[in-house]
Amino acid sequence: MKVIITGDHAGMVLRNVAKEVLDELGYEYEDAGPDCTTSVDYPDYGLSAAERIVNGEFDRGIFICGTGIGISMSANKVKGIRCALTHDVFSAKSTRLHNDSNVLAMGERVIGPGLAREIIHTWLTTEFEGGRHQNRIDKITTYEDKVFKK
Ligand code: RB5
Protein backbone atom coordinates (compact mmCIF):
# COMPACT_ATOMS: atom_id res chain seq x y z
CA MET A 1 0.00 0.00 0.00
CA LYS A 2 1.21 3.50 -0.92
CA VAL A 3 0.18 6.34 1.37
CA ILE A 4 0.46 10.12 1.01
CA ILE A 5 0.72 12.21 4.18
CA THR A 6 -0.01 15.90 4.32
CA GLY A 7 -1.60 18.63 6.42
CA ASP A 8 -0.70 22.12 7.53
CA HIS A 9 1.63 23.81 10.04
CA ALA A 10 -0.59 22.59 12.93
CA GLY A 11 -0.14 18.92 12.06
CA MET A 12 3.61 18.35 12.12
CA VAL A 13 3.72 16.14 15.23
CA LEU A 14 1.00 13.70 14.19
CA ARG A 15 2.43 13.51 10.69
CA ASN A 16 5.63 12.17 12.29
CA VAL A 17 3.57 9.66 14.28
CA ALA A 18 1.98 8.52 11.00
CA LYS A 19 5.43 8.03 9.48
CA GLU A 20 6.52 5.89 12.44
CA VAL A 21 3.46 3.64 12.08
CA LEU A 22 3.96 3.36 8.31
CA ASP A 23 7.61 2.42 8.85
CA GLU A 24 6.59 -0.27 11.37
CA LEU A 25 4.07 -1.70 8.90
CA GLY A 26 6.53 -1.48 6.02
CA TYR A 27 4.22 0.58 3.84
CA GLU A 28 5.53 2.97 1.20
CA TYR A 29 4.71 6.64 1.77
CA GLU A 30 5.46 10.20 0.78
CA ASP A 31 5.25 13.17 3.11
CA ALA A 32 3.88 15.90 0.84
CA GLY A 33 4.60 18.64 3.40
CA PRO A 34 4.50 21.33 4.56
CA ASP A 35 7.94 20.89 6.06
CA CYS A 36 7.93 23.92 8.37
CA THR A 37 5.79 25.36 11.13
CA THR A 38 5.18 28.63 9.27
CA SER A 39 1.47 29.20 8.71
CA VAL A 40 0.14 27.72 5.46
CA ASP A 41 -3.35 27.17 4.02
CA TYR A 42 -4.65 23.60 4.45
CA PRO A 43 -6.62 23.54 1.15
CA ASP A 44 -3.38 23.99 -0.81
CA TYR A 45 -2.09 20.72 0.64
CA GLY A 46 -5.29 18.76 1.13
CA LEU A 47 -6.65 19.30 -2.37
CA SER A 48 -3.45 18.45 -4.21
CA ALA A 49 -2.71 15.35 -2.09
CA ALA A 50 -6.31 14.16 -2.55
CA GLU A 51 -5.98 14.55 -6.31
CA ARG A 52 -2.85 12.41 -6.27
CA ILE A 53 -4.90 9.63 -4.63
CA VAL A 54 -7.76 9.70 -7.13
CA ASN A 55 -5.24 9.91 -9.97
CA GLY A 56 -3.86 6.55 -8.81
CA GLU A 57 -0.45 7.65 -7.54
CA PHE A 58 -1.38 6.63 -3.96
CA ASP A 59 -3.86 4.21 -2.42
CA ARG A 60 -4.65 6.19 0.71
CA GLY A 61 -3.89 9.41 2.60
CA ILE A 62 -3.36 10.56 6.16
CA PHE A 63 -4.12 14.27 6.49
CA ILE A 64 -3.48 16.29 9.67
CA CYS A 65 -4.32 19.88 10.57
CA GLY A 66 -5.15 21.55 13.89
CA THR A 67 -8.67 20.17 14.17
CA GLY A 68 -8.72 17.86 11.16
CA ILE A 69 -11.80 19.73 9.99
CA GLY A 70 -10.37 22.04 7.33
CA ILE A 71 -8.20 19.37 5.76
CA SER A 72 -11.05 16.84 5.70
CA MET A 73 -13.44 19.38 4.17
CA SER A 74 -10.85 20.07 1.47
CA ALA A 75 -10.19 16.39 0.77
CA ASN A 76 -13.88 15.57 0.49
CA LYS A 77 -14.29 18.14 -2.30
CA VAL A 78 -12.23 15.89 -4.57
CA LYS A 79 -14.31 13.38 -6.51
CA GLY A 80 -13.55 9.85 -5.38
CA ILE A 81 -12.26 10.82 -1.95
CA ARG A 82 -13.94 9.41 1.14
CA CYS A 83 -12.17 11.21 3.95
CA ALA A 84 -13.05 10.26 7.53
CA LEU A 85 -12.33 12.76 10.31
CA THR A 86 -11.66 10.37 13.15
CA HIS A 87 -10.54 10.80 16.74
CA ASP A 88 -11.29 7.38 18.23
CA VAL A 89 -10.31 3.79 17.47
CA PHE A 90 -13.89 2.51 17.07
CA SER A 91 -14.59 5.04 14.31
CA ALA A 92 -11.24 4.33 12.64
CA LYS A 93 -12.14 0.63 12.41
CA SER A 94 -15.75 1.29 11.40
CA THR A 95 -14.90 3.74 8.65
CA ARG A 96 -12.63 1.17 7.02
CA LEU A 97 -15.14 -1.69 7.44
CA HIS A 98 -18.20 0.26 6.32
CA ASN A 99 -17.12 3.33 4.33
CA ASP A 100 -13.90 2.12 2.67
CA SER A 101 -12.47 5.52 3.57
CA ASN A 102 -9.38 6.33 1.54
CA VAL A 103 -8.27 9.31 3.63
CA LEU A 104 -7.94 9.52 7.41
CA ALA A 105 -8.03 13.06 8.84
CA MET A 106 -7.12 13.96 12.40
CA GLY A 107 -6.58 17.11 14.44
CA GLU A 108 -3.31 17.51 16.26
CA ARG A 109 -4.93 20.01 18.64
CA VAL A 110 -7.64 17.47 19.49
CA ILE A 111 -5.85 14.23 20.42
CA GLY A 112 -2.40 13.19 21.62
CA PRO A 113 0.20 11.08 19.83
CA GLY A 114 -0.60 7.83 21.73
CA LEU A 115 -4.22 7.70 20.65
CA ALA A 116 -3.33 8.94 17.17
CA ARG A 117 -0.88 6.05 16.78
CA GLU A 118 -3.60 3.50 17.62
CA ILE A 119 -6.09 5.16 15.28
CA ILE A 120 -3.60 5.22 12.42
CA HIS A 121 -2.58 1.58 12.95
CA THR A 122 -6.21 0.43 13.12
CA TRP A 123 -7.22 2.43 10.06
CA LEU A 124 -4.31 1.17 7.98
CA THR A 125 -4.78 -2.50 8.87
CA THR A 126 -8.59 -2.87 8.69
CA GLU A 127 -10.05 -4.17 5.43
CA PHE A 128 -13.32 -2.99 3.85
CA GLU A 129 -16.19 -5.42 4.44
CA GLY A 130 -17.95 -4.87 1.10
CA GLY A 131 -21.44 -6.34 0.70
CA ARG A 132 -24.25 -3.97 1.64
CA HIS A 133 -21.65 -1.28 2.37
CA GLN A 134 -20.43 -1.32 -1.25
CA ASN A 135 -23.98 -0.59 -2.36
CA ARG A 136 -24.04 2.53 -0.18
CA ILE A 137 -20.69 3.73 -1.48
CA ASP A 138 -21.92 3.16 -5.03
CA LYS A 139 -24.75 5.59 -4.31
CA ILE A 140 -22.21 8.28 -3.39
CA THR A 141 -20.21 7.51 -6.52
CA THR A 142 -23.33 7.68 -8.71
CA TYR A 143 -24.12 11.09 -7.22
CA GLU A 144 -20.56 12.30 -7.82
CA ASP A 145 -20.69 11.08 -11.42
CA LYS A 146 -23.94 12.96 -11.97
CA VAL A 147 -22.87 16.24 -10.37
CA PHE A 148 -19.15 16.54 -11.05
CA LYS A 149 -17.78 16.56 -14.58
CA LYS A 150 -14.20 15.46 -13.85
C1 RB5 B 1 -4.74 26.53 11.64
O2 RB5 B 1 -4.62 27.52 12.60
C3 RB5 B 1 -6.06 25.79 11.80
O4 RB5 B 1 -7.12 26.65 11.50
C5 RB5 B 1 -6.09 24.58 10.91
O6 RB5 B 1 -5.02 23.76 11.21
C7 RB5 B 1 -7.32 23.71 11.05
O8 RB5 B 1 -7.62 23.44 12.37
C9 RB5 B 1 -8.48 24.13 10.28
O10 RB5 B 1 -9.52 23.44 10.20
Closest residue to atom 5 of ligand 1, CA basis: 66
3-state SS assignment for residue 76: coil
Q: pLDDT for 92-149, tens place per residue?
A: 999 999 999 999 999 999 999 999 999 999 999 999 999 999 999 999 999 999 998 6
Inter-residue contact 49 to 42 (CB < 8 Å): no
Q: What is the pLDDT of residue 150?
A: 57
- Residue 37, classed as helix, strand or coil, is coil
Reported as a pLDDT band with limits 50, 70 and 90, residue 10 is: very high
Q: What's the DSSP call for residue 89? A: H
Q: How far is ligand 1, taken at its centre, from the CA of residue 107, in Å?
A: 8
Are 37 and 64 within 8 A, CB to CB? no
Residue nearest to atom 10 of ligand 1 (CA): 70
Active-site residues, by number, are 65, 98
pTM value? 0.97
What was the pLDDT predicted at 102? 98
CA 107 to each of CA 11, 25, 45, 116: distance values in angstroms, whole numbers, following the listed order:
7, 22, 15, 9
Whole-number pLDDT of residue 149: 65
Which domains occur in the chain, in start order? 2-147 (3.40.1400.10)
95: amino acid identity, one letter = T
Listed residue (126, 127, 117) closest to 64, CA to CA: 117
The finding on whether 95 has its CB within 6 A of some atom of ligand 1 is: no
* Residues 26-80 pLDDT 10s: 999 999 999 988 999 999 999 999 999 999 999 999 999 999 999 999 999 999 9
What is the C-alpha separation between 8 and 15, in angstroms, rounded? 10
Name the pairing type of β-strands 83-85 and 28-31. unpaired
